Amino acid sequence: MTDDTLWEVVEESALTLTDHEAIAAMLAQAFPDWSHWFVGSRSWSGMQPERRVIARDADGVVLAHVGIRRMFISVGSQDLLVGDTGLVGVTPRLQGTGMGRDLMERARSVLEGLAVPFGFLGTGEDRVPFYAKVGWRVFDEVVTDYTAFTAEGAGMPMTEQGGWMVLPVVAPLEDWPAGPVHLNAQQV
């Protein structure tokens, strides 16, 4: 990792057009299969975050990024406040250097600051071990329905099991309710 890395936590409304472009440029590299989403200043895929953690080099190039947004979801019969977490990426040349761990430690601090009971995210099987190493717990049995995002902007209802992960923030993990998750929204 570079020594001159500058970390910041930014409110969505404070981001400039240049910020969005710099974030989108990094995300397009971190997610090469989905780069058509991160075109120009579009620095999000589904739901826009409310707060972001951004690492930059001395020239302002974005090196790592995570987005967070508070939302109520339904879990079983309960409504639950979570910090939905996504757009997690480290620029390819710095992947595997511990920057992702740094990023998620900072994400945890943001979630603590927002005082949400839980962080929530969905990921592919191959990235579950990364999140598990930084304190997130996978719920293999949980089925979640959500609205998938498309590059064209259309929302498509999806149901998936596997890869749904929870971070206990204010509440203990045992307080996560039983039952399927209904997001009724897109994810960050």
Out of 42, 130, 147, 170, the only residue in the binding site for ligand COA (CB under 6 A) is 130
Residue number closest to ligand COA, CB atom: 100
Least distance from C-beta 174 to ligand COA, angstroms?
A: 25
CB of 129 or CB of 157, closer to ligand COA: 129
* 123 sits near ligand COA (criterion: CB under 6 A): yes
* 99 sits near ligand COA (criterion: CB under 6 A): yes
Burial environment of residue 98 by CB neighbours within 10 A (0 to 12, 13 to 18, 19 or more): exposed
Beta-strand pair 118-122/78-90: parallel
* 137 sits near ligand COA (criterion: CB under 6 A): no
Out of 26, 28, 30, 111, the only residue in the binding site for ligand COA (CB under 6 A) is 30
Least distance from C-beta 90 to ligand COA, angstroms?
A: 4
Give the DSSP letter of residue 1.
-
CB of 16 or CB of 133, closer to ligand COA: 133
Q: How far is CA 129 from CA 90, 105, 122, 142, in A?
A: 16, 15, 13, 17
Rounded CA separation 5/43 (Å):
20
Contacts 24+ apart (CB under 8 A), 128-134: 128/163, 128/165, 130/100, 131/104, 131/165, 132/165, 133/101, 134/100, 134/101, 134/104, 134/105, 134/108
- Contact present, 10 and 52 (Cβ < 8 Å): yes
Out of 100, 136, 187, 188, the only residue in the binding site for ligand COA (CB under 6 A) is 100
- Site string (159-178) toward ligand COA, x via CB under 6 A: --------------------
Segment near ligand COA (CB under 6 A), from 3-11, 71-79, 121-129, 147-155? 121-129
* 36 sits near ligand COA (criterion: CB under 6 A): no
